[in-house]
Amino acid sequence: MKEKLELILKDATEEINNAKSLQDLDNVKLNYLSRKGELNSIKKNLKDLSDEDKRIIGALANKVSNQLEELIASKGEELYKVELNQKLNSERIDITLPSDYRPQGKVHPLTQTINEIVEIFQGLGFSVMPSEYSPEVETEYINFDMLNFPPDHPAKDMQDTFYTKVAPNVILRSQTSGAQIRQMLNQTPPVRVISPGRVYRCESVSARKNNLFHQIEGLLVDKDITFADLKGILNEFVRIYFGSARPTRFRASYFPFTEPSAEVDVQCIMCGGKGCRTCSGTGWLEVLGSGMVHANVLRNVGIDPEIYSGFAFGMGVERLTMLKYAINDIRLFFNNDTRFLKQF
């Protein structure tokens, strides 16, 4: 048995020294030191020996097993370091490598303005109208007639309209105001909504005018709504959008679907009110149209003007964006030149 133990020590030591990985080392441990290992089978047979031999062989077996444990532990440390270094080397990242260039997209300035204005009005208790109430291909009936434009009245010429060949009287809408009609046909007061969208006009394109532009329509109908409510809401809007330092004024105007009607001007951002080319020398720039909803319009959608009243407004998104950022050509919004768009 003594020889056998010495042989185990010799073989195991050799195997430990030759181990190339922690896995090899585990195998050695399993073969010699585990419950089913070689040393244990010797220890199990000790019971058949004389007391004297039991003592000597037992002590020797313990010594061998301690010695092997120590060898395995120190070899294990060595192999652990080797494996760790291999892993670190293979997973090394070269932080000096140039990265991929991923250009970052931006939200279009007009979309930014629309989002901003929608948020302002949501803060004032308005909600956004369902988009099906505001189709871009519209009937003359909704775009004009229901809004109290008299047939063949020159007021229709205020807005040069694109006619389609789809059917007679089917047009590209010239204003978002038709959305008011569809909303009121579908909802009884109180109504408190806004509706952003595209509109089209058959005009020659210039720095100030484009065939396609964007409007945001607003409508509030309830009991006891007065011009003071209109002024309060629109003043608040201008104050938030332009900042409180910008003077504004209400100026009497005319729209067929409102009575009385008013336009809101803000002081010219170019000259500060002194008068310049941008404001045609007046010192003021128009930013929106508004008014008290005409009794005929309310009647057209079946709302009793004796019980309800309301106000409406419509603003040009391009114009509001140009005034805020001092942009002098509306065509810049539609050219898709990234040098322009990147600035927002």
Interface residues toward ligand DAH, by CB under 6 A = 175, 177, 217, 255, 258, 289-291, 312-314
The torsion angle over the Cα atoms of residues 24, 27, 31 and 34, rounded to 10 degrees, is 130
Residue placing its CB nearer to ligand DAH in the complex, 196 or 289: 289
Kindly state the smallest distance separating residue 328's Cβ from ligand DAH, in Å.
22
**What backbone phi and psi angles, to 5 degrees, belong to 261?**
-120, 150
238 by Cβ neighbours in 10 Å (0-12 / 13-18 / 19+) ranks as: buried
Residue placing its CB nearer to ligand DAH in the complex, 12 or 181: 181
Residue placing its CB nearer to ligand DAH in the complex, 12 or 293: 293
DSSP type of residue 226:
-
Kindly state the smallest distance separating residue 103's Cβ from ligand DAH, in Å.
37
Nearest to 315 by CA among 127, 122, 113, 128: 113
Alpha-carbon distance of 189 to 293, in angstroms, equals: 13
**CB-nearest residue to ligand DAH:** 314
Nearest to 300 by CA among 143, 132, 183, 146: 146
Please report which helix (H) or strand (E) contains residue 87, including its range: helix 51-90
Q: What tokens were used for 105? A: 């997209």
Kindly state the smallest distance separating residue 109's Cβ from ligand DAH, in Å.
21
Kindly state the smallest distance separating residue 339's Cβ from ligand DAH, in Å.
31
Alpha-carbon distance of 165 to 171, in angstroms, equals: 9
Kindly state the smallest distance separating residue 217's Cβ from ligand DAH, in Å.
6
236 SS3 class: helix
Residue placing its CB nearer to ligand DAH in the complex, 32 or 200: 200
Kindly state the smallest distance separating residue 245's Cβ from ligand DAH, in Å.
26
Residue placing its CB nearer to ligand DAH in the complex, 25 or 219: 219
In sequence order, the 6+-apart residues with CB closer than 8 A to the CB of 252 are 260, 261, 262
Kindly state the smallest distance separating residue 161's Cβ from ligand DAH, in Å.
11
Residue with the two structure tokens 């000096």: 96
Residue placing its CB nearer to ligand DAH in the complex, 79 or 185: 185
Residue placing its CB nearer to ligand DAH in the complex, 308 or 313: 313
Residue placing its CB nearer to ligand DAH in the complex, 213 or 284: 213
Amino acid at residue number 191: V
Kindly state the smallest distance separating residue 116's Cβ from ligand DAH, in Å.
19
Alpha-carbon distance of 137 to 126, in angstroms, equals: 25
Alpha-carbon distance of 170 to 140, in angstroms, equals: 6
> 10 Å Cβ neighbour count for 13?
16
